[in-house]
């Protein structure tokens, strides 16, 4: 299998600034990719929804790419559609395991997902591996929050991760969660926080009513920032004392030195959510980790071409890393 390497990322001249590169992809038409939905039971009695891209019958040895989406993302997110359109063109397999609460049905248990959710990543990958043909390579990619959770798992699993995935990649992950969390509640970033809270708060209020005493509904109603949301919802649901405890313990940066699977960590230095000064350097990571930190790209943007632009650079970069020529 030979795949051409992607050139270094350079933003188009007409699209400047981290905010523009982050927002513009949301306005592009997303390609249609046929996917098969599967409801998968979890080990704790809940369920996940997996969206599968099947390989053609003529390509039984096609590799499988697992995509862990970002905060409030899904298989319909622009980066997911762009990547899976590329996989479909190559005749590869793909799957998006949705974090709990991110598909079209409320889950059974008072649980959601978070940036340090390494146990959920491990369980999802076990379910994927059990459904994949035995001898095909499995490559994992996490975007934003999904990238943070994946890196948390890779670091904790160490050499054991090789039994599940052959290569991995994290795109625009909040490497230092405290720095990223504080950034999203400042300045123009508060618009993004408001966007996320638009869907996060109703889900939390629904859970508060379904599971009385688990979450304080009145506190959720007063939330106006990601810090406040994580304080009254995320930390309470997942065993953290408060936001400070969550953002400290769930940060993936301390685990980068323990990764033993070839892993690409891609972060634009003008990402509005991930301060450039918080990004890791070579001394912070294991030899198996490839750091790629272009000056531009925004948060999961990496657009190219003349207006209105294209989203093909990132899929090509991931494919080239997973299957180097």
271 among known catalytic residues: yes
Cα–chain center distance at 249: 18
Q: Which of 315, 291, 1 lies closest to 137, judged by CA?
A: 1
Q: Which of 195, 192, 140, 196 lies closest to 171, judged by CA?
A: 140
**Bridge-partner residues for 263, per DSSP?**
168, 289
Which residue is it, tokens 């035995």?
134
DSSP string of 282-300, one letter each residue: GGGS-TTEEEE--S--TTT
Contact 26/298 with Cβ under 8 angstroms? no
194 among known catalytic residues: no
DSSP state letter for 50:
E
Q: Which H or E run contains 167? A: strand 167-171
144 among known catalytic residues: yes
Contact 274/181 with Cβ under 8 angstroms? no
Contact 130/123 with Cβ under 8 angstroms? no
Contact 127/50 with Cβ under 8 angstroms? yes
Contact 169/322 with Cβ under 8 angstroms? yes
Tell me which of 51, 117, 176, 271 is the catalytic residue.
271
- Is the alpha carbon torsion for 147, 231, 101, 274 positive or negative? negative
Cα–Cα distances (Å) from 325 to 3, 320, 321, in that order, read 5, 7, 9
SS3 assignment, position 39: strand
b/e 97-123 (16+ beta carbons within 10 angstroms → b): bbbbbbbeeebebebbbbbbbbebbbb
Tell me which of 144, 148, 172, 251 is the catalytic residue.
144
Residue 67: phi, psi to the nearest 5? -115, 120
Cα–Cα distance for residue pair 26/10, rounded to 1 Å: 19
SS3 assignment, position 64: strand
Which residues are annotated as catalytic?
144, 271, 299
């Amino acid at each position: 299998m030979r795949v051409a390497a992607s050139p270094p990322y350079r933003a188009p001249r007409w699209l400047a600034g981290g905010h523009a590169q982050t927002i513009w992809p949301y306005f592009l038409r997303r390609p249609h990719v046929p996917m098969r939905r599967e409801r998968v039971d979890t080990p704790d009695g809940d369920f996940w929804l997996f969206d599968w891209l099947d390989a053609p019958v003529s390509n039984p040895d096609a590799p499988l790419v697992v995509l862990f989406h970002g905060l409030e993302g899904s298989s319909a997110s622009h980066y997911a559609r762009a990547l899976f359109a590329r996989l479909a063109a190559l005749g590869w397999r793909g799957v998006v395991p949705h974090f709990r609460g991110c598909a079209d049905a409320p889950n059974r248990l008072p649980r959601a997902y978070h940036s340090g959710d390494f146990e959920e990543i491990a369980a999802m990958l076990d379910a994927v591996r059990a459904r994949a043909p035995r001898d095909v390579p499995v490559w994992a990619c996490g975007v934003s929050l999904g990238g943070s959770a994946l890196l948390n798992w890779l670091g904790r699993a160490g050499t054991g991760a090789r039994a599940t995935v052959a290569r991995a990649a994290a795109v625009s992950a909040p490497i230092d969660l405290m720095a990223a969390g504080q950034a999203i509640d400042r300045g123009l970033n508060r618009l993004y926080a408001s966007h996320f809270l638009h869907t996060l708060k109703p889900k939390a209020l629904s859970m508060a009513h379904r599971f009385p005493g688990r979450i304080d509904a009145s506190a959720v109603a007063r939330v106006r920032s990601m810090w406040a949301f994580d304080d009254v919802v995320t930390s309470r649901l997942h065993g953290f004392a408060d936001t400070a405890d969550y953002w400290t313990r769930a940060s993936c940066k301390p685990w980068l030195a323990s990764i033993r699977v070839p892993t690409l960590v891609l972060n634009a230095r003008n990402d509005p959510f991930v301060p450039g000064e918080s990004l890791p350097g070579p001394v912070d990571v294991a030899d198996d980790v490839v750091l790629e930190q272009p000056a531009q790209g925004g948060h999961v943007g990496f657009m190219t071409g003349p207006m209105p632009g294209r989203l093909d650079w990132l899929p090509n970069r991931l494919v080239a890393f997973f299957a180097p020529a």
